[in-house]
Amino acid sequence: MLVEIDSGQVHGAFPPRALRLVLEWRSLHLQELQEDWQRCLAQKPLHPIAPLE
């Protein structure tokens, strides 16, 4: 199962509730995810991202 950071495109099968939660979390933390992806590409440590509450 995979969700693309930038597009939100889903690859694979998620249970409906799980998918809803993952997409909500992605939308709330999109900027942080994009920044961490850039850090990953630069082989720098990632910053923690808060869970969905």
pLDDT of amino acid 53: 86
Task: Enter the pTM of the model.
Answer: 0.87
C-alpha span between 44 and 53 (Å, rounded): 27
- C-alpha distance from residue 35 to each of 14, 16, 19, 25, 46 (Å): 25, 28, 22, 15, 9
Span 34-48, average pLDDT: 98
pLDDT tens digits, 6-32: 999 999 999 999 999 999 999 999 999
Q: Residue ranges per domain, the chain?
A: 2-41
pLDDT of amino acid 36: 98
